[in-house]
Amino acid sequence: MLRTSSMLCVLITAIASAGCLRQTQGSDTTAAKEDIERMKEKPLAEVIPTNEPSPTFMLDGKPMCFAGSNNYYLIWKSEAMIDSVFRNSKKMGLTVFRHWGHLDAGSLDGTVPHLKDDGTKEGVYFQYWDSKANKPAYNDGKDGLERLDFLIKKAKDYDIKLVLTLTNNWPDFGGIDQYLLWYGLTKHVEFYTDPRVKQAYKDWVTHLLNRVNTLTGVAYKDDPTIFSWQLANEPRRRNYTKTDSADGWDKETISKWAEEMSAHIRSIDPNHLISVGDEGGFWNGSTSFYDGQDGTDHEALIALENIDYATFHLYPDSWSTSISWADKWIEDHIVAARKAWKPTVLEEYGVVVKRDEGGRIIKGWDRRERAYRQWNEWMTQRGGAGIMYWMQAGYDDYKKGRYTDYDGFTVYDPETDETAKLLQPYTTAFAEKARACVLAQGENLRPRRDVPQGFVTTTAPPGQMQALAKLDRDGW
């Protein structure tokens, strides 16, 4: 999840505590008004199904396209709340679920500050600064990584695969700025360039991947319940805090970091997929999100050897863009992914709605309905391999009701929630109807990398598949 739009600034305190803070990039109110005017005049754009082959995921030798969602709070909430979210996910036909796999604090003795509050989420934390050893340390206990053990076990029970992020660009759950506090650094860019910070990140990755789940007895690196490792949630050159700095950056800063870190993951874990977790910002034009303003070069990132698939996000309200602008944004990412021959996933998307005290949507529904229909059609018909809305929630055992819709994007169960009902036909049918997988059926598909049964991989490029087929025919 990203930033808070100007419409939602009144919710900053609540949202920040939930870990979903958004920062303003401009006035979303103007974009929303323009969208409403366009909607009066213009029907949904026609989406023409592609006949061009697209890269897909593969599971046990078959093409795999999927619908999924996101969440952030299950690592510290009760079993009942986890069950509620996963039950709703199954009703929605979701097979992949993205969740934070990080939760960083300062030092326990107070000598190194926490980035926020006491550095924990209801007493839970994974990584902290050990003042005696003068380096980060790991909380492997019941109020630490055993919570992640439990989440992974629950996902396995529900036959859902997990995307786990390894850090966060935004000042929630510790993340990038907590690393800076550990080492007394002040610039956001130093997370990507300081040798001590980079080594600390690598050490965290090493610890996590080699961890043996206390409930299943399976090392994380050997567990097919995990769909992929993700380098960071929305890495950028800034996060709209005092650590922002214009100097020290160039076009390759984040790409070089991603190359180094993905190679480190691959050296430990040859079987799991790896993604960057970027929002999809290009560096090939002059307009917003195409001009490299946030330091990411999407095409360079997905060209990296150890990055297996592309991700991109979509939030018109926060980005001061329009719903119709998104058509080109989606198509451009599908084209870029096809060029790199790596599957692409619309990993987060949302349109803000306002709810009354009873949780009923009272504003923004028309825009959301139009957008979600359009975007899901575009991903289904044009060659996308995965769709993941922000965010799936459920029952809150503290409130004795629905989990609070802090950011205006929350989706609940399809029996009572308008948005879930809207999305369900797309999420339940995507695996069969996505053109990327429809066109792959019956083809002589080859994996880009061989992996054990139950692990997800990706399809090899057509030329490589043809060459391998010829070797099969003619002998090695």
Q: What is the pLDDT of residues 258-267, one digit of tens each?
A: 999 999 999 9
- Please state, as a whole number, how many other Cβ atoms lie within 10 Å of the Cβ of residue 443: 13
Q: What is the pLDDT of residue 308?
A: 98
Using CA atoms, how far apart are residues 18 and 406, in angstroms rounded to an integer?
8
Report pLDDT for 45. 79
Is the model's pLDDT at 31 over the cut of 70?
no
The band of 37, judged by pLDDT with boundaries at 50, 70 and 90, is low
Among 223, 245, 51, 210, CA closest to 154: 223
What residues are paired with 311 via a beta bridge?
345
For 83-97, how does the pLDDT look when each residue is reduced to its tens digit (9 = 90+)? 999 999 999 999 999
Q: What does the pLDDT read at residue 474?
A: 57
Angle at which helix 365-382 crosses helix 28-41, to 10 degrees, equals 80
Domains of the chain as residue ranges with CATH: 6-474 (3.20.20.80)
pLDDT of 468 higher than 60? no
The answer, yes or no, to whether residue 17 has pLDDT greater than 70, is: no
What is the per-residue pLDDT across 209-243, written as a single tens digit (0 to 9) for each? 999 999 999 999 999 999 999 999 999 999 999 99
Output the pLDDT for position 35: 64
Global model pTM greater than 0.85? yes
Number of C-beta neighbours around residue 196 at 10 A:
13
| Tens digit of each residue's pLDDT (9 = 90 or more) over 420-439 | 999 999 999 999 999 999 99
Residues known to be catalytic: 234, 348
Alpha-carbon distance of 402 to 136, in angstroms, equals: 36
pLDDT range class, residue 442, cuts 50, 70, 90 = confident
Q: Give yes or no for residue 68 having a pLDDT over 80.
A: yes
Output the six-digit token pair for 318.
């926060």
Q: How far apart are CA 440 and CA 58, in angstroms?
A: 10
Sort 167 into a burial class: Cβ within 10 Å, 0-12 / 13-18 / 19+. buried
Question: If pLDDT is split at 50, 70 and 90, which confidence band does 44 have?
Answer: confident
Q: What is the mean pLDDT of residues 272-292?
A: 97
- State residue 162's pLDDT score: 99
Q: What is the pLDDT averaged over residues 108-116?
A: 96
- Give the burial class of 183: count Cβ atoms within 10 A of its Cβ; 0-12 exposed, 13-18 middle, 19 or more buried: middle
Burial 226-245 (b: 16+ CB within 10 A, else e): bbbbbbbbbbbbbbbeebee
Residue type, 280: G
